[in-house]
Amino acid sequence: MRTQVAIVGGGPAGLLLAQLLHRSGIDSVVVERRSREYVMSRIRAGVLEHGSTEVLRGAGLGARMDREGFVHDGVYLSTAGRGFRVDLKGLVGKSVTVYGQTEVQKDLFDAMDRTGCMLVDEADDVAIHDIDSHAPWLSYTKHDVEHRVDADFVAGCDGSHGVSRSAIPEHALTTYERIYPFGWIGVLSETPPVSHEILYAQHERGFALCSMRNMMLSRYYVQCPLDDQVESWSDARFWDELRRRIPAEVADALVTGPSIEKSITPLRSFVAEPMRYGRLLLAGDAAHIVPPTGAKGLNLAVSDVVYLARALTEHYDEHSDAALDAYSETALRRVWKSVRFSWWMTTMLHRFDLDGAFAARIQTSELDYLSSSQAALTALAENYVGLPL
């Protein structure tokens, strides 16, 4: 088959790109390795920046988000058992919206069906060919039948373990990485959230996070050793550890229950440059990973595909490649700012055993400074709600 843009990956980045291109009259085909059911079963982050919600509304994807999402005008930070609120709305005039990535994915699947955009799922042996020519193409098999998709461009939106980034020659790619020496043990429970806004807790025993998916679905995390096993964390152990790390008045209000999902997430920062090689353009996790502390992963995927859709629209409508030539540089400027913010939040809030008592006192001092400085709080709020697209 022939299309203008072949998209590898049917997660939020790939499907949102398909919808943005469709609205500009550009044809695309999305090829995804997994089934819809598998993609929908993945539990991921759910904090949308102000700009991301505007993008979803502009793409006709905001109706259910506006009905069912939870607008948060602030976040809470705590240290040494005391906390303070960061008034996002008051400081920068913007908010974030808690709306799970699974819900965004469902809205995107519904939009694909509604608009008739082509999605091929359960595609095996996906490979990208001739990206350094003017005629790139994809190959894949489905039900043991080989298929080929010819295109003008290939968009690699298939995550950190996909085939897109590996299609770029090693000599043409520079990668930057920081592996953090801990992970998060996360629990999803059908219980009311302990706080109506997200709570980040810094504690001598390690970091903790209290968040929500809806009024009867809560998501909690605590920092744990990187080599821990999920099986070693019973529900009772998890709830006891969470209570120790959050302020006492919050712990007293915590409603616990059986976990319906439990997993350990390693933390790392990763960036691959450039985000374009020939006719292959990377977006989302295919190009970069951030620790979830700053809630930037999904939002960076949104900004990438916004820049990419604009560039492809300019190519087809105005016969100009200026935006395409600048795509990698444009996207990476925002990526690195979000990588910096996520690194800063991570280093400020987590326990680093090897850094000793001095580093721990610096963390406490940083949070104390934040609580008393309007300028520092404004900088945090500006980054948290999302830098301009």
Distances (CA, A) of 230 to 49, 222, 226, 261, 334: 31, 12, 11, 11, 34
In the numeric block, the tokens 């300028």 are attached to 375
Distances (CA, A) of 67 to 59, 214, 300: 16, 12, 24
CB 345 within 8 A of CB 293: yes
Distances (CA, A) of 256 to 113, 206, 220, 345: 39, 20, 11, 27
Q: Exactly one of 140, 220, 221, 384 is catalytic; which is it?
A: 384
Q: 81 burial class (0-12, 13-18, 19+ CB within 10 angstroms)?
A: middle
CA 18, 23, 26 angle in degrees (round to 5)?
65
Tell me, yes or no, if 161 is annotated catalytic: no
Tell me, yes or no, if 50 is annotated catalytic: no
Largest CA distance in the chain: 64
Tell me, yes or no, if 38 is annotated catalytic: no
Q: Exactly one of 22, 50, 296, 350 is catalytic; which is it?
A: 296
DSSP H helices, the chain, are 12-23, 36-41, 50-58, 63-68, 88-92, 101-115, 235-245, 248-253, 297-318, 322-349, 356-372, 374-385
Packing angle of the helix pair 374-385, 322-349 (nearest 10 deg):
130
The residues with which 229 forms a beta bridge, in sequence order, are none
CB 343 within 8 A of CB 383: no
Q: Exactly one of 22, 180, 292, 350 is catalytic; which is it?
A: 292
State the amino acid at position 203 in one-letter form: H
Give the tokens for residue 288. 């970069």
Instruction: For residues 264 and 183, give the distance between their C-alpha atoms in angstroms, rounded to a whole number.
Output: 6
Which of 379, 371, 307 lies closest to 337, judged by CA? 379
Tell me, yes or no, if 180 is annotated catalytic: no
Q: Exactly one of 76, 99, 200, 277 is catalytic; which is it?
A: 200
Q: Exactly one of 72, 288, 315, 350 is catalytic; which is it?
A: 72
Tell me, yes or no, if 307 is annotated catalytic: no
Q: 357 burial class (0-12, 13-18, 19+ CB within 10 angstroms)?
A: exposed
Torsion, CA 27, CA 33, CA 38, CA 39, rounded to 10 = -40
Which sequence positions are flagged as catalytic?
72, 200, 292, 296, 384
